[in-house]
Amino acid sequence: MKALVSVYDKSGIAEFARALHGAGVEMYSTGGTYDLLSKDAGVPVRKVSDLVGFPEILEGRVKTLHPRVHGGLLARRDRPEHMAELEREGIDTIDMVVVNLYPFVETVRRAGVARDDALENID
């Protein structure tokens, strides 16, 4: 089983990821979540760039927008043609996504929020 773990609010994520690892889940992560899990918490996790074969770009804005991620998530396991296509393209399934989103609504509700701050909180 594979999971993509990428969270804005990292509260409790190390404990959750340890439980996933204990259950045999192979995890891929991005940016700050990867750093927290691998370096600070010592949880075995791989970078999404290892999965997709391409580095994060544009200051980390583009990292999971890739067929190896979306194909792995969106393929219907009950459709043999989907599974055959994944195999043909060398794409593994991703069984779980662990995310929470940036606080966009809270950010844009703040009085005087700068446009750049609002844009940075779109997820």
Coil, strand or helix at 7: strand
Mean pLDDT (the chain) is: 89
Q: What contacts 54, CB < 8 A, 6 or more positions away?
A: 66
Least confident interval from 30-39, 91-100, 101-110: 101-110
- The residue among 9, 104, 123, 10 whose CA lies nearest residue 61 is 123
Question: Does the pLDDT value for residue 29 go beyond 70?
Answer: yes
Q: What does the block give as tokens for 41?
A: 């918490």
Confidence at residue 123, expressed as pLDDT on a 0 to 100 scale? 61
pTM above 0.75, yes or no: yes
